[in-house]
A and B are shown apart, each in its own frame.
Chain A
Amino acid sequence: MKNPAVIEVHKLSKRFGLRTVLRALDFRVDSGEFVALLGPNGAGKTTFLRILASLSRPTLGQVRISGYYLPAQAAAVRCRLGVVSHLPLLYGDLTAEENLRFYGKLYGVLNIDRRSIEVLDLVGLSPRRRDLVRTFSRGMQQRLAIGRAIFHNPDVILFDEPHTGLDQDACVMLDSVLKEVASLGHTIVMTSHDLARAADLASRFDVLSRGTITASVHRSEIDPDNLLAFYRNAISQA
């Protein structure tokens, strides 16, 4: 039996003035899937993710997440959503623990102290929990950003280029956290330019080009070595 759709997008369009960024885009993600959204610069990946995150309104079309429509039921969607972008969304003058506690209060999380310990343990930052975030490396900040995003245990987590600005070691460490988060059963959508990284992490690969999804393939249907050819073919079709 097919998993229920957690994200359903139908004929989504987004315009900024005269410029159309997304064109009648259809997209569906089933529960527990890890979708890598690939595409060149300017394809509309970040715009699409911002609409899914309820930070931007669609011009046309329908967006439904965990059964709730955007933008009408945005508050219900936000309870069920975690977002990690290339910016950490963390306060440098608060400690790691204080940042999590702050977001925990905004989300109305119960047992914040216990949850902070669990999450910091999960992202490997327990020993640094009382340190100010501004003293963290970029990689550590990004791991804490993941902790912030999963603190309220959302159904869906959106990652917008989470590897941007990280060195190789930090990327490897971030990948191990991403795999652990994925193993918890969250539904994940991640935009990326890095095909090798996406091939290692995702269960499905969608290519977004010129504002629409031009190709989609499951991991079981493609040899990871052929992902580049698949991507290039999808881009050329746009």
Chain B
Amino acid sequence: MNSDAQLVTSDAHQTASDSPLRSFLRATAAIIWKDLSAELRSRELLSAMLVFALLVILIFNFALDLDVEARNSVTAGVLWVTFSFAGTLGLNRSMAVEKDRGCLDGLLLAPVDRSAIYFGKAIGNLIFMLLIEIIVLPVYSALYNINLFIPGLLAVTVLGSIGYVAVGTLLATMAVQTRTRDILLPILLFPVVLPVLLGAVKGSTFFLEGREMSDIWPWINLLITFDVIFTAIAFMVFDYIVEE
């Protein structure tokens, strides 16, 4: 231990006097970096999500004996059931890590805008969800012999994931503070996120069926609208949700 303790902190109190925006971005980036670094080491969250997602599509593969036409009509539903269930696992785990060792308090004690904590966690969760989707889509494509690499379909997948994670991160923050967090999150999340799932399933199905863009745009607009609404609501209420 340092015997010159008096000298140790003599000039260490200097803190960056950034603009609020820079401070916000710095905190958001720090939280994303922290979540990615921790996950890179433990791989607990990603492996759980991935195994679960692969099992779901495998079960559907055995359960549904589909012709080509039926395949196109159920693919979007199967994919979004997979993404949303796996996503719930990830959201729960991501917030449980913060709660179990008191780290959520550690974040709340920091002199940063609390919405930076929300955005840091939400972007981290979105990255995890997109990583799972990047793996699941080719596997599904191979199992069902169906081409999923349609740019429009991929865009709908990203938009759906943004909406899902935006509201999911907010509700996971609420649920994690209760004893029944594992049960509570899906009960809270699925009714609220229904418009996003509906838009994502319909948009994806129409892309797979090769419909006209005029048929698809309303669903994409619905997704964009709910992404914006959910993100804005989360931005406004996160401070109150984490307040004791």
Q: Which A residues contact B (CB, under 8 angstroms)?
A: 50, 53-57, 75-76, 78-79, 81, 83, 85, 87-94, 98, 102-103, 105-111, 114-115, 118-119, 121-124, 132, 148, 150, 152-153, 176-177, 180, 183-184
Q: Is the CB of B102 within 8 A of A89?
A: yes
Q: Chain A residues with Cβ under 8 A from B26's Cβ?
A: 105, 108
Q: Tell me the smallest distance from the CB of A187 to a CB of chain B, in Å.
A: 14
A109 near B30 with CB under 8 A, answer no
Judge whether B68 is part of the interface by a CB distance below 8 angstroms.
Answer: no
CB proximity of A39 to chain B, nearest CB, Å: 20
Interface residues on B, range: 35 or more
Q: A83-B109, A107-B111 are in contact. List 18 more A-B contacts (CB 8 A).
A: A54-B109, A78-B110, A83-B105, A89-B101, A89-B103, A89-B105, A91-B38, A93-B41, A98-B37, A103-B106, A106-B30, A118-B8, A122-B2, A123-B1, A152-B13, A153-B12, A183-B6, A184-B8
Chain B 14-52: CB-based contact to A (< 8 A → 1; otherwise 0): 111110000100110110011001110110000000000
Q: A121-B1, A180-B1, A184-B6 are in contact. Are A91 and B34 (CB under 8 A)?
A: yes
A110 B110 Cβ-Cβ under 8 A: no
A216 to B23 alpha-carbon distance, docked (Å): 41
Are B244 and A132 neighbours in the complex by a CB distance under 8 Å? no
Contact B15 A152 (CB under 8 A): yes
| Chain A residues, CB < 8 A from B107 | 106
Whether A91 lies near B12 (C-beta < 8 A) is no
Cα of A50 to Cα of B105 in the assembled complex, Å: 10
Is the Cβ of A87 less than 8 Å from the Cβ of B15?
no
In the bound assembly, the distance between CA atoms of A105 and B8 in angstroms comes to: 19
Distance in angstroms from A109 CB to nearest chain B CB is 6
CB-defined A-B contacts under 8 Å, sample of 22: A50-B244, A79-B111, A81-B109, A88-B102, A89-B105, A93-B37, A106-B27, A107-B15, A108-B17, A108-B111, A109-B14, A109-B16, A111-B12, A118-B8, A121-B1, A121-B8, A122-B8, A124-B1, A148-B106, A152-B15, A153-B9, A184-B6
Interface residue ranges, B against A (CB under 8 Å): 1-2, 5-6, 8-9, 12-18, 23, 26-27, 29-30, 33-34, 37-39, 41-42, 97, 101-103, 105-112, 243-244
- Which B residues touch A118, using CB under 8 A? 2, 8-9, 12
Given A83-B105, A110-B14: A78 and B34 within 8 A (CB)?
Answer: no
Interface centre among A56, A75, A81 (most CB of B within 10 A): A75
| 3 closest Cβ pairs, A-B complex | A87-B102, A89-B106, A108-B16
What's the least CB distance linking A126 to chain B, in Å? 9
In the complex, are the beta carbons of B14 and A56 less than 8 A apart? no
- A106 close to B101 (CB less than 8 A): no
CB distance from B100 to the nearest CB of A (A): 8
Q: Which residues of A contact B18 (CB under 8 A)?
A: 108
Minimal Cβ-Cβ distance residue in A for B243: A57
Smallest CB gap from B2: residue in A: A121
Known: A108-B15, A124-B1. A55 touches B108 (CB 8 A): yes
Contacting B9 at CB < 8 Å: which of A76, A98, A102, A184? Answer: A184
